[in-house]
């Protein structure tokens, strides 16, 4: 132990052995109003309108957004994605990660504070809790000694859980509505004819919502969430964070409103502890930045209201940067540091990837072709007439229109594409959103080419009728043609 402990901590006095495991203290966050609370409310509404509303939107006579796992097709408005399109999911995940890095570098844990489902559902559940049981002190009293389990307590608790479970089940129902058409799901639910898996997932997501937003709350952020741990390392000296201005606030202490606190040797913090009371993770922001802070800004709103009451300038707790606190800069000059290399690099990455994503989505070719040469035999000789190689061709039509497909084999003189009856393949019809597998023969006249392996390629041309216009799609697949000795 060093003689001068850092951070001005008092000198330790004794070493005591105590339990390594902490019993959870239930947190009763006080309700808060203000700028950031309003922003959170807006985001809660925006994200949940999207989540609860999207499955009910229809498009071209089907559900607009449907992830059909059984048919292995993802419908997203006008786009039908096949398993082969998994690259888009990869891109989307990379983009999400980069966006998280960017937001975190600029203003800390914005995602956690305003958009994370854990925060959003906790916010919804706490709102219900407040409406049923009252605000912080009423809830503390209700759970405390003075309210033994009686009729009123039972009534309040049952009401609260009933409303919670209602929302939880609706959430679970909406969630599985992304995977099975929600209208049929609704009628199945009414007739109690849900399948065993649907029932399981419905209950699973309902239970998870109820458990996480009703009971686990800040425990998820503190002990389970990986984002919480690694977002903390993505902030630097120029990141805007929820910060208590120590220089202005300390030494803290209560005082009468009329007193001149500077002559008393006090800072601006009146030690009212409101910032601790409103904190959803139950920390004291005045201890500085800590990993439990989800950056929700509730303490900012609360502290500003107190500062207004005691007639001090606002912003004792505010979004600001470490550099601004150290150098006593204004936020205006701190904003100038936003455009720093890490932010520019993230932005550049995001811009390039988004462009690539959109371009490749717009120019996506719904015609896909696979050619597999039969492995069993090298080639077949039809005595003295021609050499045949056998292939299986798989033509996938990922569009929502019919396709008329022509197949040509090129790369060697006089190649003909025949069906297994030996007739020349002219035009193949492939139904919308389906695939067709057919064995084909490719034949070359005997004696024209030397024996050996020849790289050939299949030119596949599809005509797709989209409304009144004809779209031509092409694919080129490589393969090998063998002429035996």
Q: Which is nearer to other proteins, 19 or 468 (CB)?
A: 19
Q: Which is nearer to other proteins, 308 or 445 (CB)?
A: 445
Q: Which residues bind other proteins (CB under 8 A)?
A: 1-2, 5-6, 9-24, 219, 222-223, 374-377, 380-381, 383, 388, 390-392, 419-421, 428-429, 437-441
Residue 278 half-sphere exposure toward CB, CA atoms < 13 A: 23
Q: How far is the CB of 378 from other proteins (least distance, A)?
A: 8
Q: How far is the CB of 198 from other proteins (least distance, A)?
A: 19
Q: Which is nearer to other proteins, 158 or 437 (CB)?
A: 437
Q: Which two tokens stand for residue 161?
A: 């859980």
Q: Which is nearer to other proteins, 2 or 263 (CB)?
A: 2
Q: Which is nearer to other proteins, 12 or 148 (CB)?
A: 12
Q: How far is the CB of 429 from other proteins (least distance, A)?
A: 7
Q: Which is nearer to other proteins, 63 or 443 (CB)?
A: 443
Q: How far is the CB of 348 from other proteins (least distance, A)?
A: 36
Q: How far is the CB of 401 from other proteins (least distance, A)?
A: 18
| Burial readout 164-185 (b: 16 or more C-beta within 10 A, e: otherwise) | beebbbebbbbbbbbbbebeeb
Per the document, the length of the chain is 485
In whole angstroms, what is the distance from residue 220 CA to residue 291 CA? 13
DSSP string covering 120-189, please? HHHHHHHHHHHHHH-SHHHHHHHHSTTS-S-HHHHHHHHHHHHHHHHHHHHHHHHHHTTTS-HHHHHHHH
Q: Which is nearer to other proteins, 17 or 469 (CB)?
A: 17
Using CA atoms, how far residue 383 sits from 261, 386, 418, 419, 447, in Å, is: 109, 7, 17, 19, 12
Q: How far is the CB of 118 from other proteins (least distance, A)?
A: 16
Q: By the 8 A CB rule, do 480 and 456 touch?
A: yes
In whole angstroms, what is the distance from residue 269 CA to residue 54 CA? 46
In whole angstroms, what is the distance from residue 415 CA to residue 459 CA? 12
Q: Which is nearer to other proteins, 284 or 327 (CB)?
A: 284
Q: How far is the CB of 5 from other proteins (least distance, A)?
A: 8
Q: Which is nearer to other proteins, 259 or 437 (CB)?
A: 437
Residue (of 125, 293, 296) closest to 225 by Cα position: 293
Q: Which residues pair with 317 in a beta bridge?
A: 244
Q: How far is the CB of 336 from other proteins (least distance, A)?
A: 33
DSSP structural state of residue 424: B
Q: How far is the CB of 484 from other proteins (least distance, A)?
A: 9
Contacts of 311 (CB under 8 A, 6+ apart): 257
């Amino acid at each position: 132990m060093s003689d001068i402990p850092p951070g001005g901590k008092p000198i330790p006095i004794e070493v005591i052995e105590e339990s390594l495991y902490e019993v959870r203290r239930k947190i009763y966050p006080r309700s808060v109003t203000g700028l950031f609370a309003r922003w959170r409310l807006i985001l809660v509404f925006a994200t949940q309108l999207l989540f609860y509303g999207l499955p009910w939107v229809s498009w071209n006579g089907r559900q607009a957004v449907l992830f059909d796992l059984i048919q292995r097709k993802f419908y997203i408005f006008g786009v039908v994605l096949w398993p082969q399109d998994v690259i888009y999911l990869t891109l989307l995940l990379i983009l999400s990660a980069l966006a998280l890095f960017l937001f975190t570098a600029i203003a800390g844990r914005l995602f956690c504070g305003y958009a994370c489902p854990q925060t959003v559902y906790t916010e919804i559940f706490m709102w219900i809790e407040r409406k049923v049981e009252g605000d912080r002190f009423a809830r503390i009293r209700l759970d405390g000694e003075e309210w033994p389990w009686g009729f009123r307590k039972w009534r309040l608790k049952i009401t609260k859980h009933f409303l919670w479970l209602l929302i939880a089940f609706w959430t679970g129902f909406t969630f599985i509505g992304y995977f099975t058409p929600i209208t049929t799901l609704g009628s199945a639910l009414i007739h109690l004819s849900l399948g065993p898996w649907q029932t399981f997932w419905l209950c699973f997501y309902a239970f998870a919502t109820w458990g996480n937003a009703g009971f686990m709350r800040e425990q998820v952020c503190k002990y389970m969430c990986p984002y919480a741990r690694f977002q903390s390392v993505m902030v630097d000296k120029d990141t805007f964070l929820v910060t208590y201005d120590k220089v202005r606030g300390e030494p803290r202490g209560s005082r009468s409103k009329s007193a001149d606190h500077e002559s008393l040797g006090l800072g601006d913090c009146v030690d009212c502890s409101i910032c601790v009371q409103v904190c959803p993770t139950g920390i004291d922001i005045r201890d500085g930045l800590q990993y439990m802070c989800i950056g929700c800004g509730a303490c900012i709103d609360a502290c500003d209201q107190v500062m207004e009451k005691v007639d001090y300038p606002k912003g004792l707790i505010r979004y600001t940067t470490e550099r601004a606190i150290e150098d006593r800069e204004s936020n205006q000059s701190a904003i100038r540091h936003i455009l720093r290399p890490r932010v520019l690099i993230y932005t550049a990455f995001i811009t390039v990837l988004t462009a690539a994503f959109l371009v490749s989505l717009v120019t996506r070719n719904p015609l896909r072709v696979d050619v597999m040469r039969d492995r069993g035999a090298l080639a077949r000789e039809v005595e003295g007439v021609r050499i045949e190689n056998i292939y299986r061709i798989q033509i996938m039509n990922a569009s929502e229109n019919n396709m008329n497909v022509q197949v040509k084999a090129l790369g060697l003189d006089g190649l003909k594409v025949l069906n297994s009856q030996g007739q020349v393949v002219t035009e193949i019809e492939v139904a919308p959103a389906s695939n067709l597998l057919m064995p084909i023969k490719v034949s070359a006249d005997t004696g024209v080419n030397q024996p050996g392996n020849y790289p050939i390629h299949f030119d596949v041309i599809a005509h797709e009728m989209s409304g009144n216009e004809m779209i031509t799609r092409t694919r080129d697949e490589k393969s090998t043609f063998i002429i035996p000795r």
